[in-house]
Structure 1
């Protein structure tokens, strides 16, 4: 799904088409929407298979990722969605930092009232698309490319859990995330917090009675991290946690002002 303002992506696909195995088809979608949620919705609308796997443009799935996901969906009892670890890409190097990592390596089944950010992340996620018909697509008010900043993945995960979905965290389904410079890592703390705040704020607007306890739990968790970093004089961590708090309040303010959810994407397929 290409939302760029030029034709570089399409030209790159055409240039490398000869490298694609004959039994693999690439569907190029030119999308006039904006944001990660809009692009994912455009892809989901055009998916021909029941199971769809999703990752981000700064992530690299490990070899065998699709096979591991396929095996997970073939297990019994069958999960409705599968998530997995997101590890830093490549060796450590000075001035570059891990972002959006998820390092849990224990298979876990999540249902019901599990906290959505503990269940998984959008950079490593697969689901049975029949659930999209039940709970709705990604909320295009959330995610990268919107003022919501992030949170589109935890919003969908929460809707899936509330609807009764069974989500399996599969440690063998590895995805690697590009390391980022210090400035970028700090910026992600703001957008991460903004996504949490925006999601919780929208749930509150919708009358979700569990939204406030979730938000209070979040503030408690970040507060403990901030206190611990302060006590041990880890000033970079203190600065990062303050950015998370800032983003969370910005997200709550955004959720209070943004309009109702609507589907805006218009895409052409080639």
Structure 2
């Protein structure tokens, strides 16, 4: 049928391939003999009949695998099925660059959101685009919705005026819509190379944004879900079914309206996918003041999202035992390591009881616990440096232990992140830029929480009060319907390292 699915690099196997660990959210999946045989000698499953299709669906929807499409796959939309919507305000020159990069056969709607002159409209008309105009600026969400209301094709592609799509970007996204369950697909947003920043202060920022832009979600394809490894996709470029988008963006939001749309689509049952094989270049900000202001602006959106999507957002998500281990380490006492060892041992015992269908439950649990500790450590560093830094700063004034924890987190997390993104920038400038990024976002986060009078975006989720993970897994497995003939899901979220998703 032209569709294969491939296990993700983070999906681990045991019990001679019968047990899979991983997914979004993390889970343990026990394969029945038929399904295990399909994966015995390969990380891929080809869809050739209903049973393999059911297995592929279960693996992809669980985040354990990603789809691999053939170029000749039937049912893929063509360019004639897509309308491009571009919101713009006063940016005639970038708009000219974008329109020149689009295939000429695409139908393009440019929404002029109250520009101060006729430049953007004239540019769009000269390129053959249809122009819609707001007499006063109503914001990007309203501009996109105005364009959406005029779309007559089954698919729409939203593009910001400061991006330049690279060759093949749209076809690599459209192929995902051969799956009727997919509602939205987004490309990787990379840095636009041909922008030459002025001034020495911009060069370090350009290098940092090229490696660590908040719009760039990395090189790994993923299912997009709240709290997943990829929990959102930006509207700088977003392609979707008009039927899935419905009424469009929430015009009451002047920030995070793209995250809100993605999460509403997920809640409605649509699949949202991130496809880094498609690349769209973005003109990143190179002015330090504007960059810091924008990062703080993004931070204010967390409180708005927490109000609209309760339970979908937390600055850290970890199991209670990992929280105990982290607190013990932060206390920096002689008893810290024994407490970590005791908490880890308890976790191995508890998790092994949930892995009752595994041939080696203790061994499987022992493999999972270190991932939980690493995840918790990474998230704790994020709390100290990013989400809770105002509180950490106050604590550092009065406590030597807090000062040591903050400095260690700032340096060690910076080093780990520098290696993770493989930044070309030297280490120390990268860490300095990364910490400025965190400080600005955290300031916006606290300001937004204060304005909304809520602590929701500041509170970690320790799993207290949630349904049992085994119950969640049973519900997920039952909902899979016919897929249960090929595989059965159990213990959804039982791996403590799973709880790594955040916005």
Output the CA distance in 1 between the equivalents of 2:161 and 2:381: 29
Match of 1:47 among 138, 147, 151: 151
Aligned to 2:9: none
Please identify which structure carries the higher helix content.
Answer: 2
Q: Which one scores higher on RCO, CA 8 angstroms, separation ≥ 6?
A: 1
Q: Is the 8 A contact 2:189 2:216 kept in 1?
A: yes
Output the CA distance in 1 between the equivalents of 2:122 and 2:234: 30
Aligned to 1:106: 220
Aligned to 1:175: 280
Question: Larger Cα Rg: Structure 1 or Structure 2?
Answer: 2
Aligned to 1:260: none
Aligned to 2:301: 195
Q: Is the 8 A contact 1:79 1:166 kept in 2?
A: yes
* Cα distance change of structure 1 residues 178 and 163 upon mapping to structure 2, 3 Å threshold: same
* Cα distance change of structure 1 residues 104 and 173 upon mapping to structure 2, 3 Å threshold: same
Name the Cα RMSD after superposition: 2.9
The within-5 A match list for 1:1-270 is 1-3=111-113, 4-14=115-125, 16-17=126-127, 20=128, 26-31=129-134, 32-74=136-178, 76=179, 78-90=181-193, 95-96=202-203, 97=206, 98=209, 99-111=213-225, 113-115=226-228, 118-133=231-246, 136-143=247-254, 150-181=255-286, 182-200=288-306, 202-203=307-308, 208-211=309-312, 214-217=313-316, 222-226=382-386, 227=406, 228-229=409-410, 234-255=431-452
The offset of 1:116, in angstroms, is: 9.4
The offset of 1:127, in angstroms, is: 1.0
Q: Is the 8 A contact 2:184 2:241 kept in 1?
A: yes
Question: Can you list the C-alpha shifts for 1:81-123, whole angstroms capped at 9, x where unaligned?
Answer: 1012111110686524224331422222235x54596331111
* Cα distance change of structure 1 residues 210 and 71 upon mapping to structure 2, 3 Å threshold: same
Output the CA distance in 2 between the equivalents of 1:11 and 1:241: 40
The offset of 1:180, in angstroms, is: 2.1
Output the CA distance in 1 between the equivalents of 2:277 and 2:168: 9
* Cα distance change of structure 1 residues 256 and 225 upon mapping to structure 2, 3 Å threshold: closer
The offset of 1:157, in angstroms, is: 0.9
- Number of positions where the alignment pairs a residue of Structure 1 with one of Structure 2: 232
The offset of 1:161, in angstroms, is: 1.1
SS at match of 1:39: helix
- What runs of 5+ residues in structure 1 fail to find an aligned partner? 21-25, 144-149, 258-270
SS at match of 1:67: helix
Mean CA deviation greater in 88-97 or 245-254? 88-97
SS at match of 2:215: coil
Output the CA distance in 2 between the equivalents of 1:67 and 1:240: 34
Question: Can you list the C-alpha shifts for 1:31-77, whole angstroms capped at 9, x where unaligned?
Answer: 24511111111111111111111121211111222222222223x46
Q: Is the 8 A contact 2:112 2:133 kept in 1?
A: yes
